[in-house]
A and B are shown apart, each in its own frame.
Chain A
Amino acid sequence: MSRIAVRAERLGKRYRILHPNAPRWRDYLMRPREAVRRPRSLDVYALRDVSFEVGEGEVLGIIGRNGAGKSTLLKILSRITSPTEGRATMVGRVASLLEVGTGFHPELTGRENVFLNGMLLGMPRREIERAFEPIVEFAGVGPYIDTPIKRYSSGMQLRLAFAVAAHLAADTMIVDEVLAVGDAEFQAKCTSAMRDAAGHGRTTLFVSHNMAAVESLCTRALLLEGGAVVAAGPVREVLGRYLRGGPEGGQAAHYEAADDDVPRDLRITRARVYGPAHGVPIQGEDLHIEFELEARKPFRRLQCLIWIATVEGSPVCAFSNGDYREEWDVTPGSHRVTVRIPAARLLPRTYSMTVQVVLDWGAERLDELGGAVRFHVHGRDVLGTGVALLDNRGVTWMPAEYTIEAVPIPPRAS
């Protein structure tokens, strides 16, 4: 094991908030004896008993739902606020990026902001001078460098801010969701810059909701829940644990039919969409659709039609057992249908599913479950390159091979 760069020992952060039952001024006046006995404040722990170690050069992902304590932990490690309990030790120069462009002043020019922001982030002046050209180039704001940045587009401001941060030299970086901003192209640039940093053996603590980014950048991860560490270890295991638990990371999408007033000969009683590996659907992994039928009488040549659409309503695809000429004959009773889609190429976003059970391609519709099942496909680093394929690309992606070769210049026709 390499040397330890960051060590947290039983870190805790307690906030004192106003007790919901705290006495008001009126209570002191009307019922002073009772009022003084009532509790006035309430202690809440944003973080409790958090211990971990990060080896030198390691990239640690910190994940968890909103309010799990991730930001508090980063703030303590960045020294923005002090812990109420425990201690942490950081070795080497630490730079934290909880936001890009902190301290940018709209009235000042790009050049001034690069220098002032760099120094505010802890870069020595000489280092900024050396990195100045690359920063301007990375940001692509060349001709505007002496214009006040309030005249920049927000994209340009962002690129300039990130460029400064990207050229920070520190032993340990603390990064929070920086990659969650900007367009797809810029995100890709940021991710590759992050990857370079990791490649250079820089210790990094990385908080993100972007599972694909965490998976591709981090070696280990820490899962926080309610201010405590609930899992720590190799990134895949921790991510798996995160995806399995709780409502947001979520259970598989579910539908249960309410008791129907109209007696039908055939009913779809329940349906769900899930990923066999982690419970939830994951980008590029197997996707299973399961539903149950209740038939009151025998049916011949049953077809199921399944439509998948985005929640905004644009159709994605439709398929049926009829496609394979595999209609089912069923006897009265309950039946479970499982549709297994190998390596479903759905980009991470939320979809809705419609299931129909029909005869003869819908000539007779026996039951329908329209858009009731919504499921979210979680992103991951499907190509293994660290470039996240996100929903801004559409709904699906095509694996492809790319080649380039020189073409001989044809002789010019005279």
Chain B
Amino acid sequence: MVTGLTTERPETRAPSAGRDHTPAPVKTLPVVEIDGAAHWRRWWRDLVEYRGALYSLAWRNIRSRYKQAVLGMAWAVIQPTIQVGVFTILFGVLAGVPSGGVPYPVFALAGLLPWNFFNKVVIDGSQALVTNQHIITKLFFPRIYLVFASAASAVIDAVVTFVLLAGLVVYYDRPFTADALLLLPAFAALAIFSIGFAALLAAINARWRDVNHAVPFLMQIGLFVTPVIYPTSLIPERWSWVAAINPLTGWIGLFRTAAIGTPLPDTSTLMVSMIVSVALAGFGLWHFTRAERTIVDVV
């Protein structure tokens, strides 16, 4: 409403295309159709149209995270450092878990980085609709942006951890190979899977809060069920297919290859990870888009 408080207002009112100063011809006013059905074109258009909301939500998450904490961003370094320290003493030194010829701290951190990312996206993402219900009941934007925004803040953590990892790699003088090119694809695959999975859980959580209780608990178990702090080789041959069904096995393995040059996971594991990831993420996003139109009625 209101404006007219500054005189140049009317010119700035030009909608959509006209946002870049060129006053849009009257005929190009965007038309929004509201009905009960799902339209993919409208869905895509909204993603573009409301990109500002994504930026806002993500930045809000990131900025507010370390406010009023004396150590601030340092926490993003302290947490994985202590994590690696504890795991190195417990598993590397005391239990003597093999790490495929790589110094255990590097090995563990290269697995913890993707795991922590997944962990954070899924926990924060699955709660995003519920914790932001005061916003989604008052304002429209593509709801999936709440999940994306959770992922954005996890990406920041991952980047900080990566700096730490790079430090360790240099310290232990690991060889630099062409495997490093896999870094981005591995991380992207992990991110897509994590977001899709989080979206599925978020939509379910909006209706049944059991997810709120189940997810953090299952994630604790997940850390030990997934080859994060131990190598895949520790899993008996007969059961390797079970590990492969867990897409994280493939993506964390791939990430580790890229980061510290451990051998590539076998092709069959990667294939299974790929199929399960695509199916789960696809289903998650599909379910989310179906549910999001009336999610505020049940949240």
A interface, CB within 8 angstroms of B: 15, 75-94, 96-99, 102-103, 105, 107-108, 112, 115-117, 119-125, 127, 130-131, 134, 138, 148, 165-171, 173, 175, 190, 193-194, 196-200, 202, 204
* Most chain B CB inside 10 Å of its own CB: which residue of A84, A99, A116: A116
Once the chains bind, are B34 and A87 in contact (CB under 8 Å)?
yes
Contacts of A130 in B (CB 8 A): 8, 12
- Which residues of B from 1 to 44 have beta carbons under 8 Å from A? 1-6, 8-10, 12-13, 15-16, 19, 29-36
* Most chain B CB inside 10 Å of its own CB: which residue of A82, A121, A170: A82
Contact flags B49-62 to A (C-beta < 8 A → 1, else 0): 01011011101100
7 interchain residue pairs of minimum CB distance: A196-B4, A193-B2, A166-B2, A87-B35, A119-B56, A119-B52, A82-B293
Question: Which of chain A's residues has its CB closest to B35's CB?
Answer: A87
Question: Which of chain B's residues has its CB closest to A72's CB?
Answer: B297
Check: B192 CB closer than 8 A to any chain A CB.
Answer: no
Once the chains bind, are B2 and A169 in contact (CB under 8 Å)?
no
Once the chains bind, are A79 and B140 in contact (CB under 8 Å)?
yes
Check: B137 CB closer than 8 A to any chain A CB.
Answer: yes
In the docked arrangement, what's the CA distance between A202 and B10, Å?
A: 10
In the docked arrangement, what's the CA distance between A138 and B2, Å?
A: 12
In the docked arrangement, what's the CA distance between A202 and B29, Å?
A: 14
Known: A83-B36, A99-B138. A120 touches B67 (CB 8 A): no
Once the chains bind, are B138 and A76 in contact (CB under 8 Å)?
no
Contacts of A166 in B (CB 8 A): 1-3, 5
Contacts of B19 in A (CB 8 A): 124, 127
B interface, CB within 8 angstroms of A: 1-6, 8-10, 12-13, 15-16, 19, 29-36, 50, 52-53, 55-57, 59-60, 63-64, 67-68, 134-141, 293-294, 296-297
In the docked arrangement, what's the CA distance between A199 and B16, Å?
A: 22
Contacts of B53 in A (CB 8 A): 119-120, 122
Q: What distance in Å separates the Cβ of A382 from its nearest Cβ neighbour in chain B? A: 23
Known: A80-B296, A92-B29, A108-B64. A200 touches B3 (CB 8 A): yes
Contacts of A77 in B (CB 8 A): 34
Once the chains bind, are A120 and B36 in contact (CB under 8 Å)?
no
Contacts of A198 in B (CB 8 A): 1
Once the chains bind, are B12 and A98 in contact (CB under 8 Å)?
no
Question: Which of chain A's residues has its CB closest to B296's CB?
Answer: A81
Selected contact of B4 from candidates A94, A120, A199, A204, CB within 8 Å: A199
In the docked arrangement, what's the CA distance between A166 and B10, Å?
A: 14
Once the chains bind, are A90 and B31 in contact (CB under 8 Å)?
yes
Given known contacts A116-B60, A148-B67, A168-B2, what 10 new A-B pairs fall within 8 Å (CB)?
A: A75-B296, A82-B34, A93-B16, A119-B52, A124-B19, A168-B1, A169-B13, A171-B13, A196-B2, A202-B3
Can you list 10 contacts pairing A with B, beta carbon distance less than 8 Å?
A15-B297, A79-B32, A80-B139, A84-B36, A89-B32, A90-B31, A91-B29, A92-B29, A166-B1, A194-B1
Once the chains bind, are A200 and B50 in contact (CB under 8 Å)?
no
Once the chains bind, are A120 and B52 in contact (CB under 8 Å)?
yes
* Most chain A CB inside 10 Å of its own CB: which residue of B36, B59, B294: B36
Once the chains bind, are B15 and A92 in contact (CB under 8 Å)?
yes
Question: Which of chain A's residues has its CB closest to B292's CB?
Answer: A82
In the docked arrangement, what's the CA distance between A251 and B76, Å?
A: 65
Question: Which of chain A's residues has its CB closest to B139's CB?
Answer: A102
Once the chains bind, are A91 and B13 in contact (CB under 8 Å)?
no
Contacts of B67 in A (CB 8 A): 107-108, 148
Once the chains bind, are B68 and A107 in contact (CB under 8 Å)?
yes
Contacts of A112 in B (CB 8 A): 63
Question: Which of chain A's residues has its CB closest to B38's CB?
Answer: A82
In the docked arrangement, what's the CA distance between A82 and B143, Å?
A: 13
Once the chains bind, are A165 and B2 in contact (CB under 8 Å)?
yes
Contacts of B2 in A (CB 8 A): 165-168, 173, 190, 193-194, 196-197
Selected contact of A93 from candidates B15, B33, B52, B60, CB within 8 Å: B15
Q: What distance in Å separates the Cβ of B23 from its nearest Cβ neighbour in chain A? A: 12
Once the chains bind, are A120 and B15 in contact (CB under 8 Å)?
no
Contacts of B55 in A (CB 8 A): 119
In the docked arrangement, what's the CA distance between A98 and B6, Å?
A: 23
In the docked arrangement, what's the CA distance between A347 and B50, Å?
A: 44
Once the chains bind, are B32 and A90 in contact (CB under 8 Å)?
yes
Selected contact of A89 from candidates B34, B59, B68, B140, CB within 8 Å: B34
Once the chains bind, are A120 and B141 in contact (CB under 8 Å)?
yes
* Most chain A CB inside 10 Å of its own CB: which residue of B1, B29, B135, B137: B1
Question: Which of chain B's residues has its CB closest to A101's CB?
Answer: B138
Question: Which of chain A's residues has its CB closest to B57's CB?
Answer: A120
Once the chains bind, are B36 and A85 in contact (CB under 8 Å)?
yes
Question: Which of chain B's residues has its CB closest to A94's CB?
Answer: B32
Once the chains bind, are B36 and A82 in contact (CB under 8 Å)?
yes
Contacts of B294 in A (CB 8 A): 81-82
Once the chains bind, are A96 and B56 in contact (CB under 8 Å)?
no
Once the chains bind, are A127 and B12 in contact (CB under 8 Å)?
yes
Q: What distance in Å separates the Cβ of A104 from its nearest Cβ neighbour in chain B? A: 10
Selected contact of B29 from candidates A108, A131, A171, CB within 8 Å: A171
Question: Which of chain B's residues has its CB closest to A199's CB?
Answer: B4
Contacts of A97 in B (CB 8 A): 1
Once the chains bind, are A103 and B15 in contact (CB under 8 Å)?
no
Once the chains bind, are A120 and B5 in contact (CB under 8 Å)?
no
Contacts of A86 in B (CB 8 A): 35
Question: Which of chain A's residues has its CB closest to B24's CB?
Answer: A92
Once the chains bind, are A165 and B1 in contact (CB under 8 Å)?
yes
Contacts of B137 in A (CB 8 A): 75, 80
Once the chains bind, are B52 and A125 in contact (CB under 8 Å)?
yes
Once the chains bind, are B5 and A138 in contact (CB under 8 Å)?
yes
In the docked arrangement, what's the CA distance between A83 and B35, Å?
A: 6
Contacts of B10 in A (CB 8 A): 200
Contacts of B8 in A (CB 8 A): 130
Question: Which of chain B's residues has its CB closest to A171's CB?
Answer: B15
Contacts of B68 in A (CB 8 A): 107
In the docked arrangement, what's the CA distance between A193 and B2, Å?
A: 5
Selected contact of B138 from candidates A80, A83, A119, CB within 8 Å: A80
In the docked arrangement, what's the CA distance between A127 and B11, Å?
A: 11
Once the chains bind, are A196 and B135 in contact (CB under 8 Å)?
no
Q: What distance in Å separates the Cβ of B63 from its nearest Cβ neighbour in chain A? A: 6
Once the chains bind, are B34 and A116 in contact (CB under 8 Å)?
no
Selected contact of B297 from candidates A81, A89, A105, A148, CB within 8 Å: A81
Question: Which of chain B's residues has its CB closest to A176's CB?
Answer: B138
Selected contact of A80 from candidates B3, B13, B56, B136, CB within 8 Å: B136
